[in-house]
């Protein structure tokens, strides 16, 4: 009976170790750059200014101006009148990316923190999901 309990305890411990290491590799929060474009958004002073507009999906045209965001020295300042866009700008941006680990591809949950270029780049890339469009006005 003691051997069965010991084997059971060892197996459970191994399963927990494997699950914990797998969860960390799949859901570990990292600040990864997902595209070369995001690296090139900053100008030499480390700032970027973006104007936002409503976007007409049917005509693929920008419409009414709805606000601006400026990232300067790690601080994001924005003023927008669309609540959905405001929510995207005020909170950290979570996304899944595929990264190579050894010889396999692994999904990782990446959190881009407000005030990073990766965060603003993600907002720029995904604002069309809420019928908005971004226009970079200065770098």
Instruction: State yes or no: pLDDT of 17 exceeds 70.
Output: no
Q: Encode pLDDT of 28-55 as tens digits.
A: 333 333 334 444 554 445 689 999 999 9
pLDDT band for position 22 (cuts 50, 70, 90): very low
Domain carrying residue 47 = 31-138
**Longest CA–CA separation in the chain, Å:** 74
Total structural domains within the chain: 2
SS3 112: strand
Both 51 and 85 in one domain: the answer is yes
Q: Give the pLDDT band (50/70/90) at residue 132.
A: very high
Report DSSP letters for 32-79, one per residue: ----HHHHTSS-TTSEEEEEEEEEETTTTEEEEEEEEEEEETTEEEEE
The answer to whether residue 100 scores a pLDDT higher than 60 is: yes
Global pTM reads 0.64
Q: State whether 23 and 61 are in the same domain.
A: no
Same structural domain, 25 and 35: no
Q: Are residues 12 and 35 in the same domain?
A: no
């Amino acid at each position: 009976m003691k051997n069965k309990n010991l084997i059971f305890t060892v197996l459970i411990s191994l399963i927990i170790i494997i699950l914990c290491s797998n969860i960390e590799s799949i859901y570990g929060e990292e600040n990864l750059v997902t595209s070369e474009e995001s690296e090139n958004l900053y100008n030499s002073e480390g700032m970027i200014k973006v104007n936002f507009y409503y976007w007409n999906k049917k005509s693929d045209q920008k419409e009414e101006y709805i606000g601006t965001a400026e990232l300067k020295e790690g601080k994001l300042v924005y003023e927008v009148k669309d609540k959905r866009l405001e929510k995207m700008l005020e909170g950290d941006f979570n996304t899944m990316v595929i990264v190579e680990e050894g010889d396999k591809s692994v999904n990782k949950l990446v959190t881009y923190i407000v005030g990073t270029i990766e965060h603003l780049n993600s907002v720029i890339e995904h604002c069309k999901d809420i019928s908005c469009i971004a226009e970079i006005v200065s770098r």
